[in-house]
Structure 1
Amino acid sequence: MSDSGRDLTNDHGHDRDHDRDQDHRHGEGECARERLRLALRGARRTLSRPAFDATLGELLSGLAADAGEVYDLGEPADLYGDGVVADLERRVAALLGAEDAAFFPTGTMAQQVALRCWAGRTGNATVALHPLAHPEQHERGAFQALSGLRTVHPTSEPRHPTADEVRDFDEPFGALMLELPLREAGFALPSWEELIEVVEAARERDAVVHFDGARLWECATHFGRPLDEIAQLADSVYVSFYKSLGGIGGAAVVGPASFVAEARAWRHRYGGQVFQQFPTALSALLGLSRELPRLPSYVEHARVVADALRAGFEEAGTPWFKVHPETPHTHQFQVWLPHDADALVTAAAEQAEETGNALFRRWFAQGAPGVAMTEVTVTGPGLEWTADDVRAAVKDFVRRL
């Protein structure tokens, strides 16, 4: 979705002056984003500090210092998925109330394998999912290119499909995939009752249900249910170890034991049977130990931050803005402003450099010319911000536009 991901190849019909202007503005944008990256690293206060802000040395020293809290470092290193990797699999299966779990190096591979396994078992290679879901937006058509899967969309609205849309869809599908939360729609979730109804509608059609739960860990507050109760609605679930938990990477697929055994076979075929993965597995265990218990507090404070952002924009006299969802479903949400993305990135960098407060991170051109969106994430560092702090920072940020 980022500007840098767009195709910048010149069409034959473009004149050279226009091309040079486009290249110049693209270069300015890259400089602004690099400036913001450095400003975020140096900021005293920010709403979150993701691992990718850290240096290699910081990440390595942190893992070495803390990993002994979650695993006996006197044990041998893992080989092809045993040891600490197998322990992580058992821990995840227990947390999600599943018979078994398989560790994968990436979520893209994990979901490729899960949906491929279900296609073989159901005899139907069609997957119903949202057009904003991760496989449709960020995986280069991998479902079709690698696994022979075909995708259909019960709805194109920026929300989860309803039970009626699933029940009345005009062609058969073997699996319904639900991304919880749906990131591109503002980290949106259905209500608990709606989720149950959608799952039941899929089952009425003899389809299996798979949850893209990359961020499932942060959904319990919205649903008012424990993680295992949420996960057990589905036939299989994928979870990430870095998107909510702050790990180095990695993912897992959970489900029935026979299904997970088949997934392990396909993991090997897809090149996911990695020789050693102990740094990733240890960081995942640390995330489960440290971040998972804190996620409910992040979700609750994200709602405080969202309210304060709205109040700050109103007090600053901003003519149009949008905080979406109005009440965040998770600890992440969107903010939209009617400004050029590069101008917003520059303002964010200036604010972080001059005040030490980093309120916003990257901004992305969205929807229409002159409109941009950013994703706000509230984690441990964000708990230090009061509503008054956020309102004051918003007004300072608007002043720089």
Structure 2
Amino acid sequence: MSISLQDAFNKSTYQLPGHGKRNVQVLKDAFENIDGQLDSDIYGTGKIIEAFQDKMAAFLGKEKAVFFPSGTMAQQIAMRIWCDEKELQKVAYHPLSHLEIHEEDGLKELHNIKTVLLADETRVIELDDVVSMEEEVACLLLELPQREIGGQLPSYETLEEISKHCRKNGIKLHLDGARLLEVLPYYEKTASEVCELFDSVYLSFYKGIGGIAGAILAGEATFIAKSKVWKRRYGGDLISLYPYIISADHFFNQKSKKMPVYYENAKELAVFFNSCHHVSTLPAIPVSNMFHVQFPHSKEEIEPILVEVIRETGVGIINHLKATGESSCYFEVSIGDRYQEVPKEAVKNAFLQLDRLMKNKFSF
């Protein structure tokens, strides 16, 4: 009886990607040292939420910030505010933006906002794409890193030029910074230095940080005041959000300082993948803690090979594989705490086995 890639991964001794299993222990760890008598937040007010919002505003270099239960809610609201301000219901972003492919057209259906897609699906937005826009827009959204194409990034100089162009031409610039912390080591900048180039910023607390859920939206005070009104309209002011806030704060404090380590580990792991027959990474050298691993063969051909490597070595390389065509597939790697827990000899052995099996299967 064949075993699935997910089952093989679950039974492996070591796992390369991520921080660990997402279970109730995540919440227990966050609350371990919390005073049970601490007052909860109530409908967006209270010390526990206000202190965290102030902390994040300062970290991102913005006047104010507001905590949202989801990034989807936060970013749709940001787009709506900027469109209303300019009285122009049109924004621009990458064709593979989260808003375009993962939100069931929420921006269009809920707000009647039209979108302009910049660049093609294989690369990031460059200055020429912005300068040559034929349509006027209220806001340009940039995602750093661009997840769906392996976490690619524009150069920092490009960001500066795009920011300068937008400010000169009255275009608001919004940062989809779900994984902002993960790109800071590559840019060698602080969060506030990057965010200074943008009018509004979104940061996630469950992706690289590893919290339960939740997001921060930051910007000028008037922008955040409007976003709080929209948060209430969206039903985002739950009676209490403290489980999300406490976990966000706990894991932010724990993980944000580790991003340079995750980045170096991702570059190291990419070398292992690229050393294997018919295996390549995108980008070839990662620019954050994430990248894609690509195979010029079908999912049906590659999955049994990965399962065999995991079963032979005990090293869980990945738990999923996505077809991109009849003869191509890939998976996404995001490095967190687990990679450093795997003995280097075990890692080397896993990739020697992967290389051997790929050569045996595809050397012709």
TM-score, length-scaled by structure 2: 0.92
Q: Which residue of 2 aligns with 1:394?
A: 351
- 1:94-122, CA deviations, whole angstroms, 9 ceiling, x for partnerless residues? 11011111111111110010110011112
Equivalent in 59, 74, 92 of residue 110 of structure 1: 74
In the alignment of these two chains, the number of paired residues is 357
After TM superposition, list the pairs within 5 Å mapping 1:12-161 onto structure 2. 35-50=4-19, 53-56=21-24, 58-65=25-32, 68=33, 72-81=35-44, 82-161=46-125
Displaced runs of 4+ in structure 1, greater than 6 A? none
Equivalent in 383, 390, 398 of residue 340 of structure 2: 383
Distance 1:159 1:338 in 2: 19
8 Å CA contact 1:97–1:228 kept in 2: the answer is yes
Distance 2:235 2:299 in 1: 38
SS at match of 2:203: strand
Distance change (3 Å), C-alpha of 1:37 and 1:84: farther
Q: CA deviation at 1:48?
A: 2.7
Distance 1:149 1:386 in 2: 50
8 Å CA contact 1:308–1:388 kept in 2: the answer is no
1:205 aligns with 2:140: no
SS at match of 1:291: helix
1:339 aligns with 2:297: yes
8 Å CA contact 1:309–1:390 kept in 2: the answer is no
Between the two structures, name the one with larger relative contact order (CA 8 Å, sep ≥ 6).
Answer: 2
Distance change (3 Å), C-alpha of 1:110 and 1:382: same
After TM superposition, list the pairs within 5 Å mapping 1:121-270 onto structure 2. 121-270=85-234
Q: CA deviation at 1:387?
A: 6.4
TM-score, length-scaled by structure 1: 0.83
1:324 aligns with 2:288: no
Distance change (3 Å), C-alpha of 1:60 and 1:284: closer
**Cα-Cα RMSD:** 2.1
SS at match of 1:239: strand
Distance 1:188 1:294 in 2: 20
The code of the aligned residue for 2:282 comes to H
Distance 2:106 2:157 in 1: 32
Q: CA deviation at 1:55?
A: 3.5
Q: CA deviation at 1:73?
A: 4.1
The code of the aligned residue for 1:285 comes to D
Distance change (3 Å), C-alpha of 1:170 and 1:387: farther
8 Å CA contact 2:177–2:203 kept in 1: the answer is yes
Q: Which residue of 2 aligns with 1:15?
A: none
What is the percentage of aligned positions where both structures have the same residue? 32
8 Å CA contact 1:167–1:205 kept in 2: the answer is no
Q: CA deviation at 1:354?
A: 4.2
Distance 2:197 2:322 in 1: 35
Q: CA deviation at 1:36?
A: 3.4
> Which moved further from structure 2: 119-128 or 247-256?
119-128
8 Å CA contact 1:325–1:333 kept in 2: the answer is yes
- 1:322-353, CA deviations, whole angstroms, 9 ceiling, x for partnerless residues? 21101101000011012332443444344334
Distance 2:47 2:259 in 1: 28
8 Å CA contact 1:359–1:394 kept in 2: the answer is no
- 1:175-232, CA deviations, whole angstroms, 9 ceiling, x for partnerless residues? 0100011001110111111111122222232101000000001111111111110011
Q: Which residue of 2 aligns with 1:358?
A: 316
Distance change (3 Å), C-alpha of 1:283 and 1:149: same
Distance 1:361 1:136 in 2: 26
The code of the aligned residue for 2:39 comes to P
SS at match of 2:176: strand
SS at match of 1:351: helix
Q: CA deviation at 1:386?
A: 6.8
